[in-house]
Amino acid sequence: MELRVYIIGKVTGEDRAICEAKFAAAEKKLRALGIKTVINPLKLGIPTTWTYEQEMDLCLQVVREQANAIFLIPDWVNSDGAMREWHHAFNHNYQIYDENDDEKIVGYLNHSGKWVDTSAHEHP
């Protein structure tokens, strides 16, 4: 199965340039590891006129409909919105990665779709 990774981190209250830089760095890292589908929420085209709840509704919709994994930027724990996104991913068994999981990600990509079906060999 192809990984479709949504990046999670603190956005609200952050300096925009710093926020864009940290999400861009996460996106670049994930692409360099071989992930083709990386979803950067700062690139969703959210209008500046939207309320926080409208923004979160869209972000959660994207997590639900387009992602099957998340990547946590270290400051995610300081964000209510990021916690909501994480909660959905955790409760729906998404792959969850952070900045220390390079080997785990590469291992998943190298074996994705290549696992041997051992169900016929299961013991009663």
> What element of type H or E holds 8?
strand 4-8
* β-sheet bridge partners, residue 37: 4
Would you report the helix, strand and coil content of the chain in percent, each value rounded to 5? 50, 15, 35
CA dist 79 to 32, 73, 76, 106, 116, Å? Answer: 26, 11, 5, 28, 40
pLDDT at 59: 96
| pLDDT value at 122 more than 90 | no
Average confidence score pLDDT of the chain: 89
pLDDT per position as a tens digit, 2-24: 899 999 999 999 999 999 999 99
| Domain layout of the chain by residue ranges | 4-110
pLDDT of 120: 54
pLDDT at 106: 87
Chosen CATH of 4-110 out of 3.40.50.10400, 3.40.50.10140, 3.40.50.2300, 3.40.960.10:
3.40.50.10400
71 vs 76: CA distance, rounded Å: 10
- pLDDT tens for each residue of 57-102: 999 999 999 999 999 999 999 999 999 999 999 999 999 999 998 8
Residues near 8 by Cβ (< 8 Å), separated by ≥ 6? 41, 70, 71, 72, 73, 76, 82, 85, 86, 89
Is the whole-model pTM more than 0.85? yes
- Sign of the CA dihedral running 106, 89, 6, 4: positive
pLDDT at 110: 82
